[in-house]
Amino acid sequence: MKILEKIIRSEPVNANEINDLGLNALITGEDITREKALEIPALAGCIDYIAKTVSNIPIKLYKKENGEIKEVEDRRVTLLNEETGDMLDATQMKNAMVRDYFLGKGGYCYIHKNGIEVESLHYVDCSKVAVTAGVDPIFKTGVIQVNGKTYFPHEFIRFLRNTKDGIEGESVVKQNAKLMSVMYNSLKYEENLVLTGGNKKGFVKSAKKLSQEAIDALKNAWRKLYRNSSENVVILNDGLDFKESSNTSVEMQLNENKRTNGDEICKIFNVPPSLTTGNLSEQDEKSLIKYCLNNVLGEFVTALNTALLLESEKGSYFFAPDMYELTKGDIEKRYNAYQSSISSGWMQIDEVRKKENMAPLGLDFVKLGLQDVLYNTKTQTVYTPNTDKTASVKREGKAGEKNEGRNKE
């Protein structure tokens, strides 16, 4: 198995496999910070796409009442989509929260209230947030501190990834530290090759023992060759011979593993690898929405419902993303399916409108053709709308007909 793959999968590596300077650079154990992780192109690309997409999707407020779902105009909707009452607008606020969701302890937004009314929303950089969870693993409690001031969790929108206590999440950098370290140090190794002009490593063979002065002069000449692009020749005196060392296993694997590691990053975000190459197919777009964006948006609106709804509103009000712009490519297919369902008689127009979060038209009827009949399973009778006749189909006795006169006045 290749050395880099062993490192990523936390499998043991033989000591003979790590006697190379380049490989040692890859396994230094250096902590990978948020800033370093963002230097990894695949990771930065995934987060940038998700953050920008999620932050530009409108959030709406709905109310369920008497089986109907109605859109509600509310100040909280304005705060979530337009002006937050802070220096950041709503798009910038959501963008920052999504980035903190993936790269930090979570996305935090302070809810400024006047009584029970939400006045403004204030994004708080997660690096400025300190959290203290309670010790009870059942009845979970905790506090949030910002600049030394203590707050209760319910005073914040808490958008947390993989949280176990409801107050702090887990970043992708922390969860996948080994992979991040390998990818980051691979980039640094490649950078070093570029800075040295891609010069090959090797050793100098001497026919006789060299003085320390000659060794130091040779070392200085070699350093100039590596550090200064204007120096491209080293003069070897009689009896000296340069032997180029072969490429290490790491150097040979770098390009091969670059794509593999990029795919691993995409798996973390449930993103198709084609997104990072610009070859996103229609099926990939559907997978991206279903397995990535829907999950992130689902957790985000759950956080909104928890933090922004009054207790009296919960159960009847709910926030939801407006996915129209994101899924408009599938609208034609979806509408054709609805039309087929209505024509077949197993869905009504208002049932379709309910699925689309639209107000009902009050058209409570079943669409039938002249050849159709209605069978009542309870009374075991068949009604024929075309003839306005009802017939019993019970086994006992002879089936009889009776005119119900349903359409007569």
Q: Read off the pLDDT of residues 79-92 as tens digits, 9 standing for 90 and up.
A: 999 999 999 999 99
Q: How confident is the model at residue 396 (pLDDT cuts 50, 70, 90)?
A: low
| Least confident residue range of 116-130, 287-301, 313-327, 374-388 | 374-388
The answer to whether residues 280 and 298 belong to one domain is yes
Tell me: pLDDT of 257 over 50.
yes
Q: What are phi and psi of 101, to 5 degrees?
A: -60, -45
The answer to whether residues 154 and 103 belong to one domain is yes
Domain range for 259:
1-198+246-322
Length of the chain equals: 409
Average pLDDT of the chain?
81
Please indicate, yes or no, if residue 359 is contained in any of the structural domains: no
Pick the closest to residue 179 from 264, 270, 277, 274 (CA basis). 264
For residue 104, count CB atoms less than 10 angstroms from its CB and return exposed for 0-12, middle for 13-18, buried for 19 or more: buried
Please indicate, yes or no, if residue 362 is contained in any of the structural domains: no
What residues have CB less than 8 Å from 152, skipping those under 6 apart? 143, 144
Question: Encoding tokens for residue 191?
Answer: 């950078």
Please indicate, yes or no, if residue 358 is contained in any of the structural domains: no
The answer to whether residues 237 and 250 belong to one domain is no
Q: For the chain, how many structural domains are there in total?
A: 3
Tell me: pLDDT of 321 over 90.
yes
pLDDT tens-digit map of 33-57: 999 999 999 999 999 999 999 999 9
Please indicate, yes or no, if residue 251 is contained in any of the structural domains: yes
The answer to whether residues 228 and 259 belong to one domain is no
The answer to whether residues 56 and 18 belong to one domain is yes
pLDDT tens-digit map of 338-379: 888 877 777 888 888 877 777 777 766 666 666 777 777 788
Please indicate, yes or no, if residue 107 is contained in any of the structural domains: yes
Please indicate, yes or no, if residue 273 is contained in any of the structural domains: yes
The answer to whether residues 380 and 304 belong to one domain is no
DSSP string, 167-194: S----HHHHTHHHHHHHHHHHHHHHHHH
Tell me: pLDDT of 235 over 90.
no
Task: Show the CA angle centred on residue 348, arms to residues 345 and 349, nearest 5°.
Answer: 130
pTM of the full structure: 0.70
Please indicate, yes or no, if residue 328 is contained in any of the structural domains: no
Please indicate, yes or no, if residue 337 is contained in any of the structural domains: no
